[in-house]
Amino acid sequence: LLCVYSRYISFMFVFFFSSRRRHTRYISVTGVQTCALPIYGVEKVKIQPGQSVLLIGAGPIGILFLEMFKAKGAGKILVSEPQEKRAEAAMKAGAARVINPLKENLKNIVMEETARGCDVVVDAVGSRLITAMDCAAKGADILLFGQDANARATIAQDRITRGEFNIIGTYVSRHNFPR
């Protein structure tokens, strides 16, 4: 595990151990923990090389998810993000395409890009389960990561069953280092 992500983790550890200021140490430790969150999520979905991914949300954690999926050999990585600055960051990080869901039809574009939907969909926002299901291929892993305690989705269980979706929740990392 550490080999795949070493370029991301080692920077954090070097920064941590070379720091002389007390407040910087805390920021660095937070950075390591923040980096561990998407690692845990990526490991839970067990992505296979070449599989397509849709990331809903390109905030700091969403970008880390993008980097981790690239490191694991994901194929086409699409990103849904309405904020221009975050969309630019996703493109710089290597997204195949960034879709603004406020201006474009996300589901149609995902189907155009993949022909059947994405193999893995990550809701890094916390309120986009229906959107994730709309864009997922049959048998897809849908990873729910984002937090929104007020989000409510009405879903017919039949939709999950017929789609053969694997709905996976992840909150914090457990037992990631070392492995």
Cα–Cα separations (whole angstroms), residue 114 to 13, 44, 57, 136, 161:
38, 22, 19, 10, 22
Q: Give the pLDDT band of residue 174 (cuts 50, 70, 90).
A: low
User: SS3 of 119, please?
Assistant: strand
Confidence of residue 97 (pLDDT cuts 50, 70, 90): very high
Q: Is 172 exposed, middle or buried (0-12, 13-18, 19+ CB in 10 A)?
A: exposed
Mean pLDDT of all residues in 38-51:
86
Give me the mean pLDDT over the 112-119 stretch. 97
Amino acid identity at 159: R
Q: Which residues pair with 123 in a beta bridge?
A: 56, 144
Predicted structure pTM score: 0.78
Residue type at 86 in one-letter notation = R
